[in-house]
Amino acid sequence: MNRPRFSPALFALVCLSFLLPFATVSCDNAKTSFTGAQLVTYSVPTGGALDASDCGRDISRCVEKDGAPPAILALLMALGGLVFGLRGRDKGPGWFATGGFIAMLWIALVGVGSLATIDFRVGYWLILLLFLCAMCLHAVKAVRRRRREAQPEPQAIV
């Protein structure tokens, strides 16, 4: 039983971090706070009406419209990395970690581009940090794997 344990643990923690407070978004007189799981399931709590909006009357609809797709992608990347890690795959989890990290940055970029004020909470920062740790772990593993493959095979003396 020589399967890696650290990588699957990182991805499992990412999945669990979606249950933590994710962000608080406010715009005009509307404000809502939500977890990552609420964002992924399109169940962000209502927070009040917006003055002018193209995504509905409530701020929660705007948050779901802009934030749910990258959050779903991040969760899928974490689940993919978890499955690959549990199966002991060397190649693959690093790409899942990179995809999840990019999806989390996508959420931040969407937030910066909006007129809303966003306060990212512990869930967001923990997910971002765990994806970064998984990326670094798998980058080190990839470098070691390539070095091993590049070394010439010792030849037997006959």
The answer to whether the CB of 24 falls within 8 A of the CB of 119 is yes
Domain boundaries, the chain: 6-150
- The size of the chain, in residues, is 158
Top-confidence residue, 145 or 158: 145
pLDDT tens, position by position, 89-142 = 778 899 999 999 999 999 999 988 887 899 999 999 999 999 999 999 989 988
Name the phi and psi angles at 71, rounded to 5. Answer: -70, -40
* Start-to-end C-alpha separation, the chain: 36
Top-confidence residue, 91 or 68: 68
Residues 23-39 have a mean pLDDT of 93
pTM: 0.86
DSSP 8-state assignment for residue 130: H
